Structure 1
Amino acid sequence: MPKKDQLYALIRSNPFISQQDLGAHLGLSRSAVANYIATLVRERRILGRAYVLPDHRPVVCIGAANLDRKLRSIGALVLGTSNPARQSESFGGVARNIAENLARLGAPTGLITAVGPDASGRALLAHADEAGIDTRGVLLVEGAASGTYTAVLDQDGEMRVALADMAINEALTPAFFASRAPQRAGAALIVADLNLPHDAVAALLGDALAGGVPMVAVAVSEPKIERLPRDLRGLRLLILNLGELAARAGHAMDTDAAIADACGALQQDGAQDVIVTRGALGVMLTTPDGLRSLPAPKADVVDVTGAGDAFAAAVCWSLYSGEASLEVACRRGLELSTMTIGCAQTVCPQLAPGLFDSPASLLD
C-alpha cells in the first residue's frame, strides 16, 4: 500500500493522531508527513486541522455537565416541612445529556464543558468516554467543584423545584473557546446550552455566522434566557419552552397569536427557526407557512428529568443526518421525549442506532 494511503488509514483509525506518531509508524520525517497531509487536504479526503474526516464530522455539544441528584417524595409533597423521599444520583447537564443521547443514537459526538478535579468530575468524564463521547475538549478547572443539579420530584415524578450549582461554567469564556477553535471548526453541528456566559454564547454565534458551522441553542431556564444575545444571526435553531419564550418577550404567552409573534421576533433577531416546547401540549415550530403545532403522544410518567434534553437531541440528530424536515425532527423529538419520561433514567437505556428506522415509530 502506498505511504499516503497507509497514512490515511492511520488517520481514519485515530483522527487525532499527531504528525510525530504518524512519522514513527511509517518511518517518515515530519516534513514528509506534512506533505502527505497537505495532499490529502487538497483531495478533500481530510478537512485540515485535527484531520477531520468528511464522513466523521461530529456534533459538538457545549455547555453544562454535572452530577444530578433527584429527591422523589414518597407521598404528597407538602411545602414548609420535611417530606419522606427517595434519593438517586446520575450524570446530567443539558449539553452532556444531549451528547449522551446523540452518542447512543449513533452520531459521532464531542463534548466541551468544564469539570473540577474532584470525584464527580472524574466520574463524569469516565461515563462520557464509556458512552462514546469525545471529551478531549473538556476544560479542567483547578480548585473548582464540578457542577451539581438537585431536583425535587413529587410522588408522580413531576419536578416541583430544582437547585443548580453551575458556577464552574463561568470558566467557559470566549478566550477558552478560541483554544478549541479547531475542534469546533471540524464539527457538523454545534449545540450550545444557555448555562454558558452571555459573552461566550455571543462569541459562538459570531463564529457560526463567520464559519458556516450551523448552531443550535437550547435554553435551560427562565432566569438564564438573559444569556441569549439579542443578535441571533448565525443561529440555525433555538429550542426553548413557553416560560422561557415569555421571559425573552417580556410578557405572557397566553394565546397562539402571542407565541407566533414572539417566535417571529426571534426570527427577526436572526434565528432561522424556533421550536417552543409545551410539555403535555406538544410543541410549536416555525415553518415557511407560519407556526405549526404538533401534539405530544400520551406518556406514562415515571420521571420527567431529561425529557427536554432528549427532545433536543432527537431534533439535533435529525438536523445532523440531513434528510428530515424540521417537522419530522420534532416528531422524533416527541418520540424520544416520551420514551425518556417513561423510564427512571435521565437518558433512556433503550436508545440505539437505528431507533428512528422502526416501523413502530410515532412519526406516522
Structure 2
Amino acid sequence: MDKESQILGMIQRNPFISQREIADELDLDRSAVSGYITSLIKSGRIKGRAYILPEPKGVTCIGGAHMDRKAICRETIQYETSNPVTMTETCGGVVRNISENLGRLGVFVSLISTVGDDKEGEWVIKNTGKYGVDTSQIHKDKKQTTGTYTALLDKNGNMAVAVADMNIYEQLTVPFIMQKWPHIAQSSLVVLDTNLPEQTLFYLTERCKLENIPVIVDPVSTIKSKKLMKSLTGIHTILPNKEEAETIAGMEIHGLEDCKEAARKIHGFGVKNVIITLGSQGVFASSGQEAVHLPAFQVKTVDVTGAGDAFAAGYLFGLSEKKDFVQSCQYGLALASLTLQTGLSVYPHLTAGRMTKLMEENECVSI
C-alpha cells in the first residue's frame, strides 16, 4: 500500500488525527506528511480538516463493563450437585448498566472502561453504544480478556451466589485516567463504581472535588466497598445496599433507625447524600438535612439483577433534570421497579415518559 493510501486510511479512522501522529506512525517527516495531505486534498479524496465542536456537558460513568451471565434454577437449588437452569447472557457492569439506562432516557452520557480485544468486548461496546452511550473512551486491552460476572438465581429470581472475573479492571490505573481527563473535565456529573482500583478511586474523587465536579459512587459489593474508606470525603452521593452500608458505617442495620444512624456516620466521613437501598423495603435516603423512607413500588419480581443500577440511573436522571433530592430518589424507585419485572439487567422498553408516569403514581413517607 502506498503512503497516500495509508494516510487516507488513518484519516478515515480518525478524522482529527494530527500530522505529527501520522508522521510518527509511518516514520515520516511532518513536512512529507503535509505534502501527501495536500495531494489528497487536490485530488478530492479529502476535503480538509474537520473542526471539533465542544461536546455538551453530560454524565461520565467510569468503571465496569463486562459480560453478565445468569443461571436461573428451574427447581429448588440443590447444593453440591448439578442443577437444571435457564442461562442468559447480557451486557453487564454497574456503571455500564447505569450508562445504558441513561442513554435510553435521552441523557448525554459516556462510558470509560476497559474490555478485552475479543468478541465479548466488541459485543459489549456495540450493544452499549447503540442506546446512545458514547463508547469512544473504552479501551481494548490486547493482553486481558473481557470481564465476566456469573450469577446463580433461585427459581424466584433471588440471587443465591455470584462469581466474577474482573482482573482486567486493574488496568484502569491513575495514568490511564489522567489520559482521559480532558474528557472527564467536561462532565456535569461523574459516576464511579468500585470495580476501579483503590488508588484510582482516590485520585478521581480528589480531583473531581478540586474541580467541583459532583461524584456519585456505587459500592458494588461489601468486599469492594472497603476500597472507598480513603475516598469518601467530598462525594456528592453514595448508593450502598444494606450490607455495603454496614461495612462502610461499621455497624449492623436492623431497621430504619439503624439506617438513620448509619447514614449519620457516613455523612461524618464527608459524604453529602446517603441513599441506602433496602430491596423490597425501598430506600432510606438522607441528605443530612432531611431523611426519608421511600417504600418500594409493588410489582411482581422476575429478577433482581440490575435493579440497584436502575435505581442509580433514575436518581441521576432526576439530578440531570434539576429535580430535588427526594424527587430524584422517586425516579430511581420507578426505574428499579420497571427493571425488576424483566429478566434483563436493563428494562428494554424504557422511556422517560413511562418512568415519570410510574413515579408520579407513588408517594414518599418521611420519618
TM-score, normalised to structure 2, is: 0.83
Equivalent residues of 2:157, 2:301 under 8 A apart: yes
- Is the alpha carbon distance of 1:113 and 1:81 closer, same or farther for their aligned partners in structure 2, counting shifts above 3 Å? same
Contact 2:201 2:231 in 1 (8 A): no
How far did 1:360 drift?
A: 7.3
Of residues 350-359 and 294-303 in structure 1, the stretch that sits farther from structure 2 once superposed is: 350-359
Structure 2 counterpart of 1:52, from 54, 71, 76:
54
Q: Distance in 2 between matches of 1:360 and 1:96?
A: 23
Q: Does the CA contact (< 8 Å) of 2:311 and 2:333 recur in 1?
A: yes
Which residue number in structure 2 is paired with residue 5 of structure 1? none
- Show CA shifts across 1:4-32 (max 9, x none): xxxxxxxxxxxx973979xx8998899xx
Shift of 1:354: 3.4
The 8 Å contact of residues 335 and 362 in structure 1, kept in 2 or not, is answered as: no
Aligned counterpart, 2:115: 115
What does residue range 1-364 of structure 1 map to in structure 2 within 5 Å? 18=16, 51-53=53-55, 56-322=56-322, 324-358=323-357, 361-364=360-363
Letter aligned with residue 60 of structure 1: T
Distance 1:172 1:29 in 2: 32
Does the CA-based 8 Å contact 1:340-1:348 persist in structure 2?
yes
SS of 1:101's partner is helix
Letter in 2 for 1:123: W
Q: CA RMSD in A?
A: 2.4
Alpha-carbon distance in 1 for matches of 2:249, 2:275: 15
Q: State how far apart, in whole Å, the 2-side matches of 1:17 and 1:262 are.
A: 51
Q: Mean alpha-carbon deviation: is it higher for 290-299 or for 65-74? A: 290-299
**Contact 1:65-1:92 at 8 Å conserved across structures:** yes
Q: Is the 8 A contact 1:331 1:362 kept in 2?
A: no
Structure 2 counterpart of 1:39:
none
- SS of the equivalent of 1:240 reads coil
Aligned-partner residue type, residue 16 of structure 2 = S
Structure 1 stretch displaced more, 305-314 or 244-253? 244-253
Distance between the aligned counterparts of 1:80 and 1:27, measured in 2? Answer: 66
Divergent runs of 4+, >6 A: 24-30
Q: CA deviation at 1:363?
A: 4.2
| Structure 1 range deviating more: 230-239 or 168-177 | 230-239
- Residue 275 of structure 1 aligns to a residue whose secondary structure is strand
Equivalent pair of 2:237/2:274 in contact (CA under 8 Å): yes
Q: The residue matched to 2:229 in structure 1 has which SS?
A: coil
3-state SS of the aligned residue for 1:170? helix
Distance in 1, Cα, partners of 2:278 & 2:54? 38
Unmatched segments (≥5 aa) in structure 1: 1-15, 34-49
Q: State the percentage of identical aligned residues.
A: 33
Deviation digits for residues 278-328 of structure 1, max 9, x if unmatched?
000110011344432111111201111111100000001111221x11111
Is the Cα–Cα contact under 8 Å of residues 332 and 363 in structure 1 kept in the other structure?
A: no
Q: Is the 8 A contact 1:231 1:269 kept in 2?
A: no
Q: Tell me how far apart the structure 1 counterparts of residues 317 and 66 of structure 2 sit (CA, whole Å).
A: 22
C-alpha distance 348-153 of structure 1, shift in aligned 2 (>3 A):
same
Q: Which moved more, 1:289-298 or 1:273-282?
A: 289-298
Structure 2 contact 272–288 (Cα < 8 Å) conserved: no
Moved more, 348-357 or 264-273: 348-357
Larger radius of gyration: 2
CA contact (8 A) 2:69 2:150 kept: yes
* 1:52 counterpart letter in structure 2: P
Give the distance between the partners of 2:284 and 2:142, measured in 1 at CA: 42
For the residue of structure 1 that corresponds to 2:111, the secondary structure is strand
| Deviation by residue 1:26-77 (Cα, 9 ceiling, x = unmatched) | 98899xx7xxxxxxxxxxxxxxxx7434xx2121111001111110101111
Q: 1:167 to 1:98 in 2, by over 3 A?
A: same
Q: Secondary structure at the match of 2:187?
A: coil
TM-aligned CA distance change 1:357 to 1:336, over 3 Å? closer
State the shift of 1:256 in Å.
2.9
Residues 362/162 of structure 1: CA separation in 2 closer, same or farther (3 Å cut): farther
Residue type at the aligned position of 2:351: A
Question: 1:230 touches 1:269 (CA, 8 Å); kept in 2?
Answer: no
Amino acid at match of 1:120: E
2:321 counterpart letter in structure 1: S
In structure 1, C-alpha distance between the alignment counterparts of 2:284 and 2:86, rounded to whole Å: 35
1:137 is matched by which residue type in structure 2? Q
Aligned length: 327
